[in-house]
Amino acid sequence: MPTASPSPAKPLVAVITPCYNGARHVENAIKAVQAQTYRPLVHCIVDNASTDATPQIIARYANAEVQIITIRNPETVSFQQNSNKVATLIPAEATHFRMLHADDTMPPNAIADMMEVALADETIVMVAGIEKMNGVLRNHDFPAECTFYESSNMLARFLSDEAHIPTAHVLFPHGRDASG
């Protein structure tokens, strides 16, 4: 009787979280990553010299199932600098990454669902998820009858303020240019 060939290993995905004084929310963000059904997964966190309990909360998850790669800035930098710094923690072997701000969460199937779409066609360069703000779905203003959008159409709609791209809820490719 023939045996089934093993399925190819799934690619590594990184979730990146810039954080500053996030003691009120960061644990929920960490728990949301830990609860993801997709593996392999890594969570990269940069603590922007927080003055609250943020470092202690992150440290509690040092041996969590989903590996956490974390550093702490010696002094506070701008949000943009901190966001850029957390991106440098993404392991080279990661094929995709997604931002998760310290005050955000995501459902347990978010990465699995996004990766299913991302891997369905090599021309897909980013996958946007549903965005809720204060428990209410946020409208992206893209035509409801469309699931996939040409990048030029999407960018034109975004730049003309006709549509919203939830950049904090987007899965991006890592380690390759946007053309694939």
**Residue span of the structural domain in which 38 resides:** 12-121+167-173
Partners of 69 in the beta sheet? Answer: 44
What's the pLDDT at 179? 45
Instruction: State which of 8-17, 127-136, 171-180 shows the largest mean pLDDT.
Output: 8-17
pTM over 0.95: no
The model's confidence at residue 96, banded by pLDDT at 50, 70 and 90, is very high
Residue 131 maps to a domain: no
Strand order, beta sheet including 170-173: 67-72, 41-47, 12-19, 94-99, 170-173, 127-128
- Domain of 22, CATH number, reads 3.90.550.10
Residue 126 maps to a domain: no
What's the pLDDT at 180? 44
What's the pLDDT at 80? 93
Residue 135 maps to a domain: no
Number of domains in the chain: 1
Residue 70 maps to a domain: yes
Q: Is the peptide bond before 8 cis (omega within 30 degrees of 0)?
A: no
Residue 161 maps to a domain: no
pLDDT above 70 as % of the chain: 72
What's the pLDDT at 39? 97
Contact 17, 43 (CB under 8 A): yes
- CA distance linking residue 62 with residue 172, whole number of Å: 26
Residue 58 maps to a domain: yes
Residue 149 maps to a domain: no
Stretch 94-116: mean pLDDT: 93
Residue 34 maps to a domain: yes
What's the pLDDT at 122? 85
